Amino acid sequence: MLTGASKGMGKAMAEALAEHGAKVVISSRKLDQCEAVANGINEACGAGSAIAVACNAGYKDQLQALVDATHDALGPIDILIGNAGVNPFYGPMSEIPDEAFDKIMSTNVKANHWLCQMVAPDMIEKGSGSIMITSSTGAFAPSEVLGTYNISKLADIALVRNLAAELGPKGIRVNAICPGLIKTDFSQALWDNPEAAQRANEQIPMRRLGEAEDLKALAVFLAADASSYVTGQALTVCGGAHMWS
């Protein structure tokens, strides 16, 4: 089950999981976009590979309805990717309205907390499962224009680590995926300009910006038994732009 899966990185990760045999639930706010992605996956991977469920991740009742719909259609949940995120404000934290601050923290952090509470019982009963939460390399540094967003993404890493400690003894792995600057609609204001292209070509070791498809392999790895000894980690997909010792 994936949130924020109707476009960009979420869509790419859903496609990758389906290509490797998983049955996926595509969710985002707009049902028509979810259905378009699900139809494409079903055409490529076979009927029944994907279903679409509309869900605004900022509302607990809608998240519970998403989990319930997933149970009704596919049974217990084995894999969760909390990918939905928002950033309604661009500017210094000294100027962010309370409403924008609350929306960022609620959707980017609290919604993932809620989802994990709702889905973990399935995995605990089975004794295995994989949870992934999309964070960001923005979590690793301050920003004069994306401060609250970066705080929310660092909080996601803290959430992942705590859940990994709590759920590891029950066989459940929890990891954060930290994309760098990826060419998606969500981040278009950050990459669709000559300065960003120049920085990518001069400063990123791989000499390019990321693409949504760059997230596919990591999502499959973390979902599979191949990563059975990987938990509590913040794994970057950034072309080498963020290296840590």
Q: Taking Cα atoms as reference points, which of 92, 107, 220, 217 lies closest to residue 155?
A: 107
pLDDT of residue 52: 98
The whole-number average pLDDT for the span 169-191 is 82
User: Which pLDDT tens digit goes with each residue over 128-151?
Assistant: 999 999 999 999 999 999 999 999
CATH of the domain at 95: 3.40.50.720
Q: What is the pLDDT of residue 243?
A: 83
Residue 193 has pLDDT above 60, yes or no: yes
Q: Is residue 210 part of a domain?
A: no
pLDDT at 188: 61
Q: Is 156 within a domain?
A: yes
What CA–CA distance (Å, rounded) separates 8 from 204? 21
pTM for the predicted model, two decimal places? 0.94
Distance separating alpha carbons of residues 96 and 77, to the nearest angstrom: 37
208 domain residue, yes or no: no
For residue 114, is it within any domain? yes
For the stretch 228-238, pLDDT in tens is 999 999 999 99
Q: What is the pLDDT of residue 217?
A: 97
Q: Which among 59, 90, 149, 229 is annotated as catalytic?
A: 149
Judge whether 206 lies within some domain. Answer: no
Whole-angstrom distance, CA of residue 19 vs CA of residue 13: 10
Domain count, the chain: 1
In a domain, 167, yes or no: yes
- Residue 78 domain-assigned? yes
- Residue 53: helix, strand or coil by DSSP? strand
Residue 149 known to be catalytic: yes
Residue of higher predicted confidence among 201 and 62? 62
Q: What pLDDT does residue 219 have?
A: 98
Burial class (CB in 10 A: 0-12, 13-18, 19+), 43: exposed
Residues 70-91 have a mean pLDDT of 96
Is residue 194 over pLDDT 80?
no
The rounded distance, in Å, linking the Cα atoms of 183 and 190 is 9
**Residue 154 forms part of a structural domain:** yes
Domain range for 65 is 2-192+218-237
What's the CA gap between 2 and 220, in Å, rounded? Answer: 13
Structural tokens at position 60: 């607990």
